[in-house]
Amino acid sequence: MSIAQKCVYPAIYNFGDSNSDTGAVYATFTSVQPPNGISFFGSLSGRASDGRLIIYYIIVAISF
């Protein structure tokens, strides 16, 4: 496989940890206090994160 070829995966599964699973608080309490993702592409994400997570950067790095 050439380095120039893109990796092709039908899906990527991330089995959450403290760096990637930001939905547990929201699922439990249904109210996440600011920053609650307000600057995540201009709308609320409903997560306890204000931006992209490491999994997004991994996906971009492998050209998913």
How many C-beta atoms lie closer than 10 Å to residue 59's C-beta?
14
pTM metric for this prediction: 0.49
Cα distance between residue 34 and residue 47, in whole Å: 10
Please give the average per-residue pLDDT across 26-51, as a whole number: 63
Please give the average per-residue pLDDT across 48-54, as a whole number: 71
Q: What is the pLDDT of residues 5-38, one digit of tens each?
A: 666 777 888 777 766 766 666 667 666 566 555 6
